[in-house]
Amino acid sequence: MEKMVGKRYASLDEIKKEIEKLTGVKVAEVIKSSSDRLKGTDFMLDFEFEDDGDVYTIFYLKDNAGNYYITEI
């Protein structure tokens, strides 16, 4: 999934499809994180795979066009 870092995505659905393409595993959902953001860190998205109860985090920034720019996975 490191291939996603540095790329821009127009929607959460587009991010979900890219994760599924790269991993070959179905994603249950991708949502904006409800976790508290630490000062100086990027915004966060959370996702989980359908067969896995673990939550994974993607860090992002929004560009001027409103796209999600992935900074870290």
Q: What is the pLDDT along the chain (73 residues), one digit of tens a residue?
A: 899 999 999 999 999 999 999 999 999 999 998 877 777 789 999 999 998 889 999 999 999 999 999 999 9
pTM of the full structure: 0.89
Beta strands in 1-73 (DSSP E): 8-9, 27-32, 43-49, 56-62, 68-72
